[in-house]
Chains A and B, each alone.
Chain A
Amino acid sequence: MNLNLEKISDISVLTINEERIDAHNSGELKEYLLQMIERGEKHIVVQLAHVRFIDSSGLGALLSGNKNIIAKSGKFALSNIQQQVMSMFELTRLNRVFEIYTDLNDAVKTET
């Protein structure tokens, strides 16, 4: 899975450079997020601008990241979600669980 990690202020911004998150690559995403959290990252924003498809396992990987960082009193947010992908968050009501920002600047501005 093609991922890019950068630090903006104290926030770790993880950009997913894939069009598709499904059961083939979601395990890798979940594992990557868990390793970030184990390393002590306290504040993660996952940037989804390139993602045009996500399945239930992809939602599960993000949910795992969200749960694990909150358990360590950290913060987790998503940004730049495409319209059809957003409809999956709405259908599963996960839009009520995640902190979601329209774009990365908003996420960084609000979260810092």
Chain B
Amino acid sequence: MSERASAPPPASDPNTVPSVAARLALYQRAGGVITPLLTAFIAFLIGGLVVYATTGKDPVHTYKAIFKGTGLSWLSPVSIHWHLFYPAAIHWTGWDTTSPTALNLQQTLIVVTPLILTGLAVAFAFRCGLFNIGGNGQYTVGAIVAVQFGVWFAGLPGPLHVIVAMLAATLAGAAWGGIAGILKATTGAHEVITTIMLNWIALWVGSYLVGFNGPMQDPRAISAPVTRPIADSAHLHVFWGNPLLQGLHIGFFIAVAMLFVYWILLNRTTLGYEVRAVGFNAEAARYGGISVGRNFFLAMAISGAFAGLAGSIDILGWEFNLDLTVVQTVQVGFIGIAVALLGRNSAIGIFFSALLFGALLTGTSTRNLDPSVFQPQLAGNLTRIIQGLVVLFVGADLLIIYLWQARKKLRLPQRKTVEQA
């Protein structure tokens, strides 16, 4: 009868054996930071192997070049020259806001901004137990409405015009997401199917509106399928860098503020309580007096609102008009899925995973990646590979947890997941 039990955790009854599910939840919470980091690390590792196997290039060298293109090094004002493993020299470089690195960082953050919001669009629905694949469509609808409102009301004073356009775009996104929510609530139509269909509807309606002879096409640009530019009063204020060189606009702060809104909405309002209850256990929520259908609608509408806002911020912040190619090739809604998954639907997680994917996109863009190191076209695919791997690994959460456990306890055989304990 050796008393080998170490001090039990304060809040657990020593008489109860935790179920496998409970222990798994514990690992997930304990590995709350570790698991996503490990996921990203393994994704980059495999991406590096692909780089090496297909092009023979040095993956470390390639990743360094990509990192350089992101401008993230601007944040640390020292440059370190590594000699073997010891820093041979450390130079104080200071924060030069006009350096190419600073410009790169501005680009990165411009890309990060909509990713935060589309990440939230996926995450909020997730918390209600819904899988919102429709971020792209909701984003597109938001962008279309933002352009139209930016073109109209040219006489309004600046801030008001911006607010009107953003609000309209947010509502449009909410409506687009809300359709899927209503369908789910009333007919039980699965949101994955309906949001994908809504994506295509948004794409083709957008293409018609913006395309040649479309009602929104700029009459002065007969040869280009593009809308009229929005009025100057609808431009978002650029607070860092040169507005003419696509400096960083205040939309970034709006996105960051939305992270707080997301957290507060979920954790400090009755709406968030309902959404989470429905997401965890819809039957218990119904028994508790919560209308499940109403929450399906609200969750999808709020998700759509985030994505619609993302569309408007891109238009008002740096695009200023809507191009047919943008309507047809935009991906931010889909990357938002990876952002939410890697960020584990938490506000802070979404911020960092949006930063990661935004940096990857900028770092591998034609403009920022040194073509002598690695072909940007190939690097763009590398981004997609890493994005795909992240989604794959997050889906295979258990595998990561298992690897993490195996690291700690190499001999531990893998257990079958059972409900019994």
B partners with A: no
List the interface of chain A (C-beta within 8 A of B). none
